[in-house]
Structure 1
Amino acid sequence: MSTRILPLGQRALLAEVPDLADVLALHARLEASRPAGVIDLVPAARTVMVRVDPRVLLLSAARAWIEAASTDAAPLLAADTREVEIGVRYGGADLAETAQLLGVSADELVARHTAARWTVAFTGFAPGFGYLVSPDWPFDVPRLAAPRTRVPAGAVGLAGEFTGAYPRATPGGWRLIGTTDAALFDPDAASPALLAPGTRVRFRPARPRPDAETTSARRDHGVHPPSRRAEVVSRSGGIEVVEPGLLATVQDLGRGGAAALGVARSGALDRGSARTANRLVGNPESAAVIEVTMGGFRAVARRDLWFAVAGAWGPIRLAGHELDPYEAHAWPAGEELHLDWFAHGARGYLAVRGGIRGPKALGSHATDVLSGLGPPRLDAGAVLEVGATPDAPIPVADLAPWGAPHDDELEIELAPGPRAEWFTASARDALFEAVWTVTNDADRVGMRLDGPELQRERAGELPSEAMVAGALQVPPSGRPTILLADGPVTGGYPVIAVATDAALDLLAQARPGTRIRFRHARQV
Structure 2
Amino acid sequence: MGDRRSTPRILPVGEHALLVELPDLAATLGFFDEVRAAALDGVIEAVPAARTVLVKYAPHAVSYADLAARLARLDAADGASSGGRLVEIPVHYDGADLADLAGLLGVSADELVRRHRGSEYRVAFGGFAPGFAYLSGGDPLLDVPRRATPRTRIPAGAVGLAGTFSGVYPRESPGGWQLIGHTDMVMWDLDRTPPATLQPGDRVRFLDAGPARAAVVRAAAPSDTVTPRRVVDHSGPALEVLRPGAQAVLQDEGRVGVAGLGVTGSGALDRPALHAANRLVGNGPGEAVIEFAQGGEVGAHGEVVVAVTGARAELRLTRRSGRVDMIAGPSPIALGNGERLAIVPDQGLRNYMAVRGGFDVPAVLGSRASDTMSGIGPAPLTMGSVLGVRTTNSVPLPPVGDPEPWPADRLPADVVELPVVLGPRDDWFTPHALDVLFTQPWQVTRHSNRVGLRLAGDVPLERAITAELPSEGVVPGAVQVPASGQPVLFLADHPVTGGYPVIAVLTTRALAVAGQLAPGAVIRFAPAGDSLTPRLVRTPTPLELS
Fold equivalence (TM over 0.5): yes
Out of 308-317 and 502-511, give the one that drifted further: 308-317
What is the deviation of 1:402?
2.0
1:239-277: CA deviations, max 9, x gaps? 222232211100001012221221111000000001101
Distance of 1:462 and 1:193 partners within structure 2: 27
Distance of 1:197 and 1:459 partners within structure 2: 30
User: Matched residue of 2:114: which SS?
Assistant: helix
Equivalent residues in 2 for 1:13-412, closer than 5 Å: 13-70=18-75, 80-207=83-210, 214-215=217-218, 218-219=219-220, 223=221, 225-226=222-223, 230=226, 232-235=228-231, 236=234, 238-295=238-295, 297-319=296-318, 320-340=324-344, 342-396=345-399, 397=401, 400-403=404-407, 405-412=411-418
What is the deviation of 1:279?
0.6
User: Matched residue of 1:28: which SS?
Assistant: helix
What is the deviation of 1:200?
0.7
Distance of 1:87 and 1:137 partners within structure 2: 22
How high is the TM-score relative to the length of structure 2? Answer: 0.89
1:511 aligns with 2:514: no
Q: Is the 8 A contact 2:138 2:165 kept in 1?
A: no
Distance of 1:499 and 1:242 partners within structure 2: 35
Shift in alpha-carbon separation, 1:390–1:29, aligned structure 2, 3 A = closer
Distance of 1:153 and 1:135 partners within structure 2: 22
Residue number in structure 2 paired with 1:12:
17
Residue number in structure 1 paired with 2:490:
483
Q: Which of the residues 433, 437, 442 maps onto 1:436?
A: 442
1:299-341: CA deviations, max 9, x gaps? 222221011110113332222433233011111112232223x
Q: Which of the residues 452, 470, 474 maps onto 1:463?
A: 470
Out of 273-282 and 137-146, give the one that drifted further: 137-146
Out of 204-213 and 20-29, give the one that drifted further: 204-213
User: Matched residue of 1:475: which SS?
Assistant: coil
Q: Is the 8 A contact 1:307 1:353 kept in 2?
A: yes
Q: Is the 8 A contact 2:330 2:405 kept in 1?
A: no
Which AA in structure 2 matches 1:499? L
Q: CA RMSD in A?
A: 2.1
The count of corresponding residues between Structure 1 and Structure 2 is 513
Distance of 1:275 and 1:398 partners within structure 2: 19
Q: Which of the residues 416, 424, 427 maps onto 1:418?
A: 424
Residue number in structure 1 paired with 2:536:
none
1:41-92: CA deviations, max 9, x gaps? 0110011111101111211121011110046x8x989675211111222212
Gaps of 5+ in 2: 1-5, 319-323, 533-546
1:481-518: CA deviations, max 9, x gaps? 00111001101100111111121100001111111111
Shift in alpha-carbon separation, 1:13–1:106, aligned structure 2, 3 A = same
Q: Is the 8 A contact 1:3 1:70 kept in 2?
A: no
Out of 466-475 and 83-92, give the one that drifted further: 83-92
Shift in alpha-carbon separation, 1:256–1:95, aligned structure 2, 3 A = same
Residue number in structure 1 paired with 2:455:
449
Distance of 1:48 and 1:226 partners within structure 2: 30
Shift in alpha-carbon separation, 1:4–1:403, aligned structure 2, 3 A = closer
User: Matched residue of 1:506: which SS?
Assistant: helix
User: Matched residue of 2:73: which SS?
Assistant: helix
Distance of 1:270 and 1:446 partners within structure 2: 14
Q: Is the 8 A contact 1:316 1:339 kept in 2?
A: yes
Which AA in structure 2 matches 1:262? G
Q: Is the 8 A contact 2:93 2:210 kept in 1?
A: no
Shift in alpha-carbon separation, 1:398–1:33, aligned structure 2, 3 A = farther
How high is the TM-score relative to the length of structure 1? Answer: 0.93
Distance of 1:17 and 1:283 partners within structure 2: 44
1:69-126: CA deviations, max 9, x gaps? 046x8x9896752111112222122222222211122222122212211110111211
Which AA in structure 2 matches 1:367? S
Distance of 2:56 and 2:462 partners within structure 1: 29
Shift in alpha-carbon separation, 1:54–1:266, aligned structure 2, 3 A = same
User: Matched residue of 1:298: which SS?
Assistant: strand
Shift in alpha-carbon separation, 1:408–1:54, aligned structure 2, 3 A = same
Q: Is the 8 A contact 2:331 2:404 kept in 1?
A: no
Distance of 1:250 and 1:294 partners within structure 2: 15
What is the deviation of 1:366?
0.3
Distance of 1:398 and 1:366 partners within structure 2: 31
Distance of 1:511 and 1:338 partners within structure 2: 20
Residue number in structure 1 paired with 2:543:
none
1:473 aligns with 2:472: no
What is the deviation of 1:231?
5.1
Q: Percent identity?
A: 48
1:121-168: CA deviations, max 9, x gaps? 111211111000115443211001121222222221110000111112
Distance of 1:14 and 1:54 partners within structure 2: 15
Which AA in structure 2 matches 1:310? T
Distance of 1:383 and 1:420 partners within structure 2: 47
Distance of 1:265 and 1:122 partners within structure 2: 17
Q: Is the 8 A contact 2:420 2:527 kept in 1?
A: yes
Out of 352-361 and 177-186, give the one that drifted further: 177-186
